[in-house]
Each structure stands twice: as structure tokens, then as C-alpha cells.
Amino acid sequence: MLGLMQSKPLLISGLIEHAAANHGDVEVVSTLHGGEQRRSNWRTVHQRARRLASALGGLGVAQGDRVATLAWNTDRHLELYYAVAGMGAVLHTVNPRLFPEQIAYILNHAEDGIVCFDLDFAGLMTQIAPQLTTVKRFVALCRPDQLPALELPGLCCYEDLLEQGDPGFQWPLLDENTASSMCYTSGTTGHPKGVLYSHRSTVLHSFTACATDGLGLNARDAVLLAVPMFHVNAWGVPYASAMCGAKLVLPGSNLSGDKLYATMRDEGCTFSLGVPTVWLGFFQYIEQHRASLDLSELRLKRVVVGGSAAPRAIIERFEQLLGVYVIQAWGMTETSPLATIGNLLPKHGGLPLDERFDVQCRQGRPIYGVEVEIFGAEGQALPHDGQQMGELRVRGPWVLSAYYGSAAGSALDAQGWFSTGDVALIDPDGYVQITDRSKDVIKSGGEWISSIDLENLAVGHPKVREAAVIGLPHSKWQERPLLIVVPKSGEQVDATELLEFMKERVARWWLPDEVVFVDELPHTATGKLLKTKLREQFRGYRLVTDPA
Ligand code: AMP
């Protein structure tokens, strides 16, 4: 027997309609190009998103078409979030920090028809435009008087485009499983892969962000979004804020400690999110200006730290300096991203702070909807005893089933689990602790560096026989690459020469911080590089670039 409740689909357009109707005056504050500040609200975001959807339709964007953004956190980007998904097209947020060739690859692979870009990326756009196979139009996110003269096909200005839209546009009624947005992840080897979210997965994920034991986002919050909107939909918060009617503060491109502090103070922010590197910069600013700052001006209550392990020092400083609770969250592009969240249990109520920090240093417990499990080398599920470590696998309604372009279910094992490439233990209370990574990547300041790409590049040098890259701890960036090289016999190669050679072929921030020369590298029985052994060998090694 079927239930007799209404079956209204869970759509992203419903989120913005709700925010406009019930929290219309709640502000959305943005820092735009050049530092200009603009104050909007949920009602205006909704009106402009409808106009934009209509205007995009006028440009020929149809349901299922991909529209790309290379953009910072601003209200225009937010309007694109709602307009593109709401009309049934797919918003493809592209990470502008990738190397230009990777960006071109991603745009071509997704078959984006339109690219909307912030003015900071005008040069990048003209550089890669000749390599793009499907892009027909470029939209500059600016006013008409700011539109630069660029050689780009169909170039137009965002505000002009918006003017052409019909303010009476009505959102279409879509199937809730319709694709809504996509992000590429370079967290694995080979080419970046696309993760395709749906309206349903996005709305369910938003409920989680608003749940008390999720991120607890609510109508009394003013959110400083210090995680980029091209990182897994800014952890879902642009959608969740509309769901609960929180004030949203979008800081543009500048996430420096002084800017974050001033914005937080001026906008009365109660809640924020970001990767550890952002918070290290924030505390560096506070510590340097301690004497002149009145920390009681801040209304901050909770901060979500994720993307990499939250250092204990961040958790402690937030509590001790600002009385702020750090919620550590773990997730991935493939998990929308919220999967485990670090809230407390009743038994932690009376804990001394030091012991409470121990709990917060773990990556949290699974939230409703997401199941997590650890598996041993033979594929057996391991006990949650806080001792045994295994590969972390996840499943749930906002975990991907396949990468874009692959058959549904192809990213899962027979039991429906998705393998994360993270190694973890789970304690008897269900808290997950990430202990290692089996995937061959380095995460620096919240962004991926492929060690395999660097190794391939290094061995391309005529004097290099073999090369390995491992991530070493770094006090500012969490991890930075160390390149370990075996020169060809009889050859002399120095670090500067090698790095010069590599510089032309990868983004600057991918370049190894240091090069070490050795006579040989450890291998497995099948001849593969034994990274575990190398990591052991270099445990405790301090990179010269680490100021700590
Ligand atoms: P991404 O797909 O870029 O969001 O990266 C996901 C990966 O980042 C995970 O598989 C982990 O390796 C890492 N990660 C994310 N959050 C955390 C966390 N709280 N602690 C440790 N590692 C994390």
C-alpha cells in the first residue's frame, strides 16, 4: 500500500522560492571585483535568478546543458547556482586554481556551452579559449562599464544579459533526480573526473547541514562563506542557507586573515567554514594584532573545518581566544561533501577541555543518510574498536554512484560501497579518525597535487632515472610535496635545474618545496614504488619552507 502524502519533488528552485517568501529581507552581502561591496537579499537573489534563467534560455541553454563558472564567492555566482539548476540545466563550477590545460580538459569533457567568469580570469579565458571545443559564449561577471575588450566568442556582460531576462519566468517542474550541478575532482590519479549532483541529493544534503547534529545552520546565523563556491558547492552551504534563511556573507576572492576578521566583525557573522590553511592565516592576523583588536566584537559561535585534518592548534585557539566550537567535518567531492560531522555526545558534557579537544580532533560521526565502514586488506569489515585501521567506504543518497560519463553504479562495489581512498579507524562511539591515505595525492591548502603527475614530469628530465613524490607535513599548507630523485648513473643534476624544467609544465603551487637526491628508491615485489616505506624514511623530515 502506498502512502497518501503529496509527492512534491525536492528541487533547488524550491529552496530559493522558500527563502524569498519567508526570509526575503535577509541579507546576502558580497565583496565583488576590486573590493566593491554589494548588499542584496534572498528576495532579490530569487528575482535576479529567475531573470537570469530566462535570459540563459534566450541564449539557447536547454535542460541538461552544462553552464560553467570560474568565479569567486559573490551574489552573482549564487544567482547562477539557482538560475542554472532551477531551469533544469547543470551548473559546472570549475576550480580556477588548476593548471590551464586541466581547466580546458575539464570544460571540454563536460561539454560546457557557456562559461561565466570573474574578471580576474579574463587572461586565463583568452589563453584557453582556442583549446575549447564546445564553448560558444563567454559571460563576464560584471557591469557593462567594466566589460573588457577581449577576443572571446559571444562575449557579453552579466548585467546586460540579466536585463534581457523575463522577470515573470516560472521555474519548471523537474524530476527530482535531474542533474543540477557538477564538480570535477582531481583527488585521484589520471584525468579529473566529474561528479554529477542531483536536485534530490542537494536538497537532502541541505537538510543535513541544517540539522542540529549536522552543521546546525539556522535562521539566526550569519554565515561567512570562506570555502570557495568551486569546492564541492561550498560544502552545500549556499543551498542550506536558503533552506533555513541564514544571512550569507560572500567574501569574493580575498580570504586573508585581516579581511576575514573585518568582514566577520562588520557583518556580525556567527558561523563560518573553511579549510585549515584559511584559519591559520586568520589566527596569524589575530596574533600579530592582538594588542589593537577587541576580540569581543566578534559574534562568531561555530566554525566548520574540513577538507584536510583540522590541526589541534586551530581547535584550541578557536575555543580559547574566541569561545568558538570547531566542528570538524569529513567528506569528499564524491559525497556532496558532508559525511561525518564532529558533534558531541551526552557523555562528553562534563569533559575537561583538553579531552574534549581529543574528540574534536577526530573527523566526526556519520550523519543520518550516510553509512561508513572500514575494510581490511581481504575485504572484511573491521571492528569499530578505535584500533584497527582499514579503507574507509561510504554509501548514501548524496554519495555518487558513478563518475560523469560512466554507467550508473560503476563507482561502487557489489554491496554499493564507494571506496574513498582514505584509511581510517572508527572508535566504539562511532567517531571516524582518518589516519592515512591510500590514494597517491598530496593536499596542500585544501587543493590537490598529484604526486604521480610530478613524478612523471621529473623523470621526463634527461638526467633523471627515477623519481618519487611524497607529501610532508607543513605548518601553513598542511602538506607540501618533497621530490626524491635518483639521477641517471654518471649524471649530475641539481635541484634548481630540475625545478626550472618542471616549472613550465605545472601550476606554480604544485612545484615540490624541496628536492632530495638518493641512490635508490624502495620498491614492492612487483617493482612499484613503495610509498609507505618512503614516508617512513622521511618521517620527521622538516621541509626548508616550513616556518614552524
Ligand atoms: P575533495 O574531494 O577535494 O573534497 O577531497 C576529499 C578528501 O580530502 C578526503 O578523501 C580526505 O582525504 C580529505 N579530507 C577531507 N576532509 C578531511 C578531514 N576533516 N580530515 C582529514 N582529511 C580530510
**Stated pTM of the model:** 0.93
Say which CATH number the domain at 468 has: 3.30.300.30
Terminal CA-CA length for the chain: 64
Q: Is residue 515 part of a domain?
A: yes
Burial of 294 (0-12, 13-18, 19+ CB in 10 A): exposed
Atom of ligand 1 nearest to the CA of 448: 3
Q: Is residue 421 part of a domain?
A: no
Find the 453 Cα to ligand 1 centroid distance in Å.
20
Q: Is residue 171 part of a domain?
A: yes
From the CB of 446, is ligand 1 less than 6 Å away?
Answer: no
In a 13 Å sphere around the CA of 485, the CA atoms on its Cβ side amount to 32
From the CB of 333, is ligand 1 less than 6 Å away?
Answer: yes
Q: How many CB atoms lie within 10 A of CB 489?
A: 7
**Integer Cα distance of 363 and 326 in angstroms:** 11
Give the closest residue to 163 by CA, choosing from 331, 47, 308: 47
Find the 91 Cα to ligand 1 centroid distance in Å.
23
Q: What H or E segment, with its residue span, contains residue 383? A: none
Active site residue 42: no
**Integer Cα distance of 184 and 231 in angstroms:** 9
From the CB of 276, is ligand 1 less than 6 Å away?
Answer: no
Ligand 1 probe mutation, 184, 215, 332, most atoms within 8 A of CB: 332
Give the closest residue to 331 by CA, choosing from 357, 360, 363: 363
**Integer Cα distance of 150 and 129 in angstroms:** 11
Say which CATH number the domain at 112 has: 3.40.50.12780
Q: Which of 42, 398, 448, 477 is catalytic?
A: 448
Find the 481 Cα to ligand 1 centroid distance in Å.
17
Ligand 1 probe mutation, 308, 327, 343, 449, most atoms within 8 A of CB: 308
**Integer Cα distance of 251 and 74 in angstroms:** 7
Q: Is residue 455 part of a domain?
A: yes
Q: Is residue 423 part of a domain?
A: no
From the CB of 363, is ligand 1 less than 6 Å away?
Answer: yes
Active site residue 532: no
Find the 381 Cα to ligand 1 centroid distance in Å.
22
Find the 149 Cα to ligand 1 centroid distance in Å.
40
**Integer Cα distance of 33 and 159 in angstroms:** 14
Residues 375-394 as b/e (b if ≥16 CB within 10 A, e otherwise) read beeeeeebebeeeebbbbbb
pLDDT at 188: 59
**Integer Cα distance of 376 and 380 in angstroms:** 5
Q: Is residue 258 part of a domain?
A: no
For the chain, what is the domain count?
A: 2
Residues 6+ apart with CB under 8 A from 466: 459, 485, 486, 521
Q: Which of 126, 185, 188, 545 is catalytic?
A: 185
DSSP string, 1-69: ----S------HHHHHHHHHHHSTTSEEEEE-GGG-EEEEEHHHHHHHHHHHHHHHHHTT--TT-EEEE
Write out 86-122 in H/E/C secondary structure.
HCCCEEEECCCCCCHHHHHHHHHHHCCCEEEECHHHH
pLDDT at 318: 98
Find the 450 Cα to ligand 1 centroid distance in Å.
14
**115 in Cβ contact with 153 (< 8 Å):** no
**59 in Cβ contact with 53 (< 8 Å):** no
Paired residues of 91 in beta bridges: 67, 181
**Integer Cα distance of 219 and 243 in angstroms:** 9
pLDDT tens-digit readout, 241-274:
999 999 999 999 999 999 999 999 999 999 999 9
Active site residue 443: yes
pLDDT tens-digit readout, 211-248:
999 999 999 999 999 999 999 999 999 999 999 999 99
pLDDT at 187: 63
Paired residues of 179 in beta bridges: 198
Find the 443 Cα to ligand 1 centroid distance in Å.
8
**Integer Cα distance of 438 and 187 in angstroms:** 11
Q: Which residue has the cell 560519463?
A: 405
**Integer Cα distance of 39 and 46 in angstroms:** 14
Of the residues 177, 203, 229, the one at which a domain ends? 203
Find the 542 Cα to ligand 1 centroid distance in Å.
23
From the CB of 308, is ligand 1 less than 6 Å away?
Answer: yes
Q: Which of 443, 455, 479, 510 is catalytic?
A: 443
Q: Is residue 176 part of a domain?
A: yes
pLDDT at 531: 85
**Integer Cα distance of 193 and 190 in angstroms:** 9
Residues 6+ apart with CB under 8 A from 185: 192, 193, 195, 332, 333, 334, 448
Give the closest residue to 329 by CA, choosing from 316, 343, 318, 317: 343
From the CB of 441, is ligand 1 less than 6 Å away?
Answer: no
Q: How many CB atoms lie within 10 A of CB 7?
A: 7
From the CB of 180, is ligand 1 less than 6 Å away?
Answer: no
Paired residues of 139 in beta bridges: 116, 156
Atom of ligand 1 nearest to the CA of 334: 2
Q: Which of 17, 334, 455, 514 is catalytic?
A: 334
Of the residues 168, 184, 203, the one at which a domain ends? 203
Paired residues of 422 in beta bridges: 437
Per-residue cell: 74: 559573490
Of the residues 203, 225, 254, the one at which a domain ends? 203
Residues 6+ apart with CB under 8 A from 333: 183, 184, 185, 187, 195, 232
Active site residue 301: no
Name the closest-CA residue to atom 21, ligand 1.
309
CA distances in angstroms from 221 to 74, 105, 203, 326, 328, listed in the order given: 18, 39, 19, 15, 18
pLDDT at 402: 98
pLDDT at 436: 83
pLDDT at 189: 62
Q: Is residue 404 part of a domain?
A: no
Give the closest residue to 403 by CA, choosing from 334, 351, 460, 468: 334
From the CB of 47, is ligand 1 less than 6 Å away?
Answer: no
| Residue 74: domain span | 8-203
**Integer Cα distance of 389 and 374 in angstroms:** 7
Enumerate residue ranges in the chain where pLDDT < 70.
Answer: 187-189
